[in-house]
Structures are given as structure tokens and as C-alpha cells.
Amino acid sequence: MIGKKNMGRASPLFLLLLVLGFFFATYNLLTMVLHNRRIEGGGVDDGAFSKYFDPLNQMPRKVKDAKLPFHVALTATDAPYSKWQCRIMYYWYKKMKEMPESDMGGFTRVLHSGSPDNLMDEIPTFVVDPLPAGLDRGYIVLNRPWAFVQWLEKATIEEEYILMAEPDHIFANPLPNLAHGRNPVAFPFFYIKPAENEKVIRKFYPEEKGPVTDVDPIGNSPVIIKKVESSLPFYLSLMEKIAPTWMNISLTMKDDPETDKAFGWVLEMYAYAVASKIAWCAAYSWKRFYATGLVLLPEEAFPPWDLEVGKRFIIHYTYGCDYSLEGKLTYGKIGKWRFDKRSYLGVLHQETLFAPPGVPESVVTLVKMVNEATANIPGWEAE
């Protein structure tokens, strides 16, 4: 009798576990089938699952159709070099935000100078403290994760989602929210190679966490991610959990000579990739499923390497554009014609830039967008 009573009491728990087990088994099977039915460089094929998933970003159609505004946040310094980029970026944000296809919400420049500057009235800005003097070891990018930690703790952010962006981003097309729930989207950078740096990565991502190949080739920007997913277990929370982990790993990596030498100027990007994985982020991919079933991306154009902008969402002008007057690329050598953000460490003066004939569409578009912004932003030369 006692045995039967105990069995009866245990049955609801057993049934719950059985249901959960069936759910996860079905989910994993569906994920595996979708992964194996992909088209290289494209979305899900035209088979039975295509009617449920958008062929462009592979997101469930009902999810994609929902309006999920995201808050645009970029960290910045008060240096003139950072200011002129932020002003151009904000100009194009305002234009693209108003387009029907856009899911852009509010905007914040997270200024990690510790004090207000002269752009407070022009660009919505939240001032946070820089790292204590000397802690960044001359690597100012370490202020980025610390800035996000402070902003997330102190600011009121109406949107559930955040796009982490950078000053040298220009919105070339209206950007929809490609993220959903605990599934953020990010950009895969060819120079972030966790598998080729396994020895170093293992210092911060122990073996019990999984294979190094699970660490995605991303940085913190551009990433669209939810602030926190309260409906999920605590270990699946998102940005509010990732940010302090990202900050701590960044500082620890910088303090380790081997890691600092291996990762150099992209150290903070590696730190975000590791922190994101430790926080158990999963994501829908952009264009294709990765082997991990994770992350990837709002598309970017990188002039001069990407020859056209097309439908890409962001122009990221991180590389210098050097050309002869005949339109021949002279990368690695200063050209007779150039547009390189590093040429304007002080002020980008208001002038009309003309790209020579023969340069790719991406460079022409970049120059035109810079020209339009500087010509229409009030008080441009005052900065």
C-alpha cells in the first residue's frame, strides 16, 4: 500500500518530466533537420519546412511579422574624432527610423567620459564613468563593456531589445529586428577565430563549457539582443547578464600578456564572444545556420572590400579607402584619393567629397552619405 501511494504521488512529476523530455527531443530534432536541409549561403530549402520559416533570415514567420522595436545604443568618447562620427551616425538613424521596414526605437549615445559635452542637446546621451585611470592600459575600448554595465543598471530603457552599434556605422537601409527572445543576432567577423586560438580561449572558456568551436566569431557590435528574458531560467538571461561577464573577461584578458599579444586590438571582441557563450545565448542565423545553431547577423558593407551596399543595413567604414585618380585600389598605400576616418582625428570639415570614376558603388555611397549628413546637420563646423 505504501509503495502504491508513493507511486501515485510521484506520477505528476513523472508526467511533467516526460512532457519536458518530449518537448526538448522534438525541438532538437526539428533544429537538426532544419540545419541539415539548408542551402549553402542561403536559407532553408523549398521543402516542407519553408512555409514556416522566412527564406531570408530563417526566423519563424510569425516571429518575423511581429513588431519588436529595438533601442540603438553606441558607446563613445568625447574626442572630436568620435563626435563627428556619432553625428553622422545619428543623422542617418533618424532618416531610417521613419521608414516602414524599420524596427528602430529610441537612441542613446552612451558617453563614457564621465562628464557632459557639447552634443548633449543634439544627440540623446547618457553619461557614464570611464574606467579608473590606468585600468584600460591604454586600450580605450575596454571602457565599452564597463559603459554598458552602468547604462543597463541606471538608465530607463523602454524597448525590450538593444542594438549595440559603433560611431563608424551608417544606416544604409532601414533595419528590422532580426532577434527574438533569447536569440540575438550578430555579425560574423572573418578575423575572429576562436578555433585557431584554442589555447588562449581555454583560459576563459573551460572545457566543461563545451568545444571552442561553439564560441561564435563575433564582437559586441553590431548585435541585436534582448535586455533580459524573464520567462526563461536565470542562466538564460541575456544582456544584463552578459555585460558584467564581458567586462570582467575583457579586463582579465588585457591583464594576461599572452592573450593581449594574441588578440591585440580585437581583444574586447573576443571577450564578448566568450561572455555571450558563457551566458548560454542561442540565436537565429542570418542567411545560414552555423554548425552551433547560433548567432548571425545584421549585414554590413565594408568599403572598399565590399563593392556594393545593395540591401545591406549598415556601412561600416572601418577600413581606409585609397585609390588612384583612375579609380584603382591602392590599399596599403596612401592613394591620390582617399577617404579614411583616421585622416580626421580632429574635425571632418564640411566639404563635398567626390570619389574618382571607377571606384566601387560602396565607396560612392559612403561618400554621398557623409556629404549629405555634413551638409544638413546644423552647426557642423562648430564642432
Q: pLDDT digits over 321-369, tens only? A: 999 999 999 988 999 999 999 999 988 888 888 999 999 999 999 999 9
SS3 content of the chain, % helix, strand, coil (to 5): 40, 15, 45
Joined together, the cell numbers standing for residue 381 give: 563646423
Q: What is the pLDDT of residues 145-164, one digit of tens each?
A: 999 999 999 999 999 999 99
Q: What is the dihedral of CA 318, 319, 323, 329, to 10 degrees?
A: -140
Confidence grade of residue 39 (pLDDT, cut at 50, 70, 90): very low
Confidence grade of residue 239 (pLDDT, cut at 50, 70, 90): confident
Lowest mean pLDDT among 110-119, 209-218, 367-376: 209-218
Pairing of strands 300-301, 314-316: parallel
pLDDT tops 50 at residue 281: yes
The domains of the chain, with CATH numbers, are: 70-285+292-296 (3.90.550), 305-376 (no CATH)
Q: What is the mean pLDDT of residues 228-247?
A: 72
Contact between 163 and 178 under an 8 Å Cβ cutoff? The reply is no
Interatomic CA distance for residues 47 and 78, integer angstroms: 53
pLDDT of 151 reads 97
* Three-state SS at 325: coil
Confidence grade of residue 230 (pLDDT, cut at 50, 70, 90): low
Q: How far apart are the first and last CA of the chain?
A: 85
Interatomic CA distance for residues 69 and 12, integer angstroms: 40
Q: What is the pLDDT of residues 177-207, one digit of tens each?
A: 988 776 788 888 889 999 999 999 999 999 9
Lowest mean pLDDT among 24-38, 114-128, 153-167: 24-38
Higher pLDDT, 242 or 6: 242
Q: How many alpha carbons lie under 13 Å from residue 189 in its C-beta half-sphere?
A: 19
Interatomic CA distance for residues 335 and 350, integer angstroms: 21
DSSP assignment, residue 174? P
pLDDT of 8 reads 44
Phi and psi, residue 233, nearest 5°: -60, 160
Higher pLDDT, 366 or 34: 366
Higher pLDDT, 105 or 188: 105
Task: Tell how far CA 67 is from the center of its chain.
Answer: 20
Using CA atoms, how far residue 12 sits from 5, 38, 94, 242, in Å, is 13, 39, 54, 36
pLDDT tops 60 at residue 268: yes
- Classify the phi-psi angles of 138: left when phi > 0, otherwise alpha if psi is within -120 to 50, otherwise beta: left
pLDDT of 26 reads 40
Average pLDDT, the chain: 81
In this prediction the pTM is: 0.80
pLDDT of 351 reads 83
Q: How many alpha carbons lie under 13 Å from residue 220 in its C-beta half-sphere?
A: 32
